[in-house]
A and B are shown apart, each in its own frame.
Chain A
Amino acid sequence: MPIAGLGQQQPFLFHLTFRGTSFETNSTGNVITKPVTETTLLEDVARPVGITDISTLGLLYHVAGSPFGDTIEVVNPTNGAKLDLMFGFYFGADPNLRRTALTNSTGTQERRVDQVYTKESIYALGSAFVTKRYVTDTAGNVRATFDGEMHYLVRPKGDQPAKFVVGSFTTTRPFRPR
């Protein structure tokens, strides 16, 4: 369902913060927890490809970043160009799958449960409870904020064990190219 106020001229890329906890087994076989933030998410992307300066990367919430729905992407922080997909929030309102979102009658608030997709699988690896709010300020500008509570599986890779991440994200401000 289209949201009132989020037209073509509105921003569609937003900076975000992420706060979460990962659960994984350590070398002694115990389940341990580690903090997850937007910084650690970028570090996890940067490390395997040899990027040491994560200021060369940005993490953005992208409204309709995919034909399937919104995404969180790794981008070039200068121009916003997409470098990698972090999460896809898909199929939360798909009648073929008997799923629907909930929107208030003024179109200023939407809540939905999306499936979380990553590059690791064609199947969903978690879900996100996403809230979208659209507020018109005194100057008539529509301000959008998106937040989500999510959990997802990170599949084992090499010597890295499988882990679960439970966290939440909040968009902070629209992305502006430098």
Chain B
Amino acid sequence: MNFPIPPMNFRLVLALLLLAYVVQSGFAQSKFHITFRGTAYQKAPDGNMTPVTITERTLLEEAARDGGVTDLSTLALVYHVNGSSFGDTIDVVNSTNGVPYRTFYGFFFGQDASLNRTAITNAAGTDVRRIDYIYTSQSSHSMGTGFVSKRYIRDSQGNPRATIDGGQLQWIVLPAKGDSAKMCKATFTTVRPFVPRP
């Protein structure tokens, strides 16, 4: 059976453009601090494949380096619910006021009937599982996917609390800045809501 390459979807082009302009105001419960644990496999100068650790800190360091920021404490890595009109994002934000600074990953098109994709949600609407397609600023095509779980519970005081886990992310980083391509896999977990400092 043949699987023709799907025609370029206009929305995918828009997704790339939006990644550069994911700027949404408001804090509420739409942004969460996250821990991020992963491994990037890349080619070392000797030609061997080398694993390099990825954490929330290394992602912040990369954003800081690219933007000429020297004080990492001025940045925070957050999971941003509906960070884009296409779906959720992982963003670097200003740690004081939450203003988005850069989007690392977009989690898009996991629930799109035109692409034969759906999420699953329990009857109570408190447990959502989905496979989203990972978009980065490097391409208008998806560079991988993530299996994402979202749970909505109430704490002992009755306050709604959301936790979001990226159980298995895998994606490609194209060659850049003298580095080889990287094949990456990781997990992430939201730890607490992002609250702007007074």
A54 to chain B, nearest CB (A): 22
Q: Which of B1-57 contact A (CB under 8 A)?
A: 1-6, 41-43, 46-49
Chain A residues within 8 Å of chain B by Cβ, number: 53
List the A side residues contacting B182 at CB < 8 Å: 102
Partner-binding segment picked from B58-66, B71-79, B139-147, B190-198: B139-147
Of the candidates B43, B118, B130, which one forms a contact with A155 in the assembled complex, judged by CB atoms under 8 Å apart? B118
Size range of the interface on B? Answer: 35 or more
List the B side residues contacting A109 at CB < 8 Å: 49
Q: Please determine whether A91 and B5 come into contact, CB atoms closer than 8 angstroms.
A: yes
- How many pairs of A and B residues are in contact by the CB < 8 Å rule? 132
Tell me the complex Cα distance, A102–B181, Å.
Answer: 6
Q: Does B156 contact A (CB under 8 A)?
A: no
Tell me the complex Cα distance, A28–B181, Å.
Answer: 46
Q: Please determine whether A102 and B5 come into contact, CB atoms closer than 8 angstroms.
A: no
Tell me the complex Cα distance, A91–B144, Å.
Answer: 11
Of the candidates B3, B43, B115, B145, which one forms a contact with A105 in the assembled complex, judged by CB atoms under 8 Å apart? B43
Q: Please determine whether A123 and B117 come into contact, CB atoms closer than 8 angstroms.
A: yes
Task: Give me the interface of A with B, judged by CB distance under 8 Å.
Answer: 23-25, 28-31, 66-68, 85, 88, 90-92, 96-102, 104-106, 109, 111-113, 115, 117, 119-129, 149, 151-153, 155-156, 161-164, 166
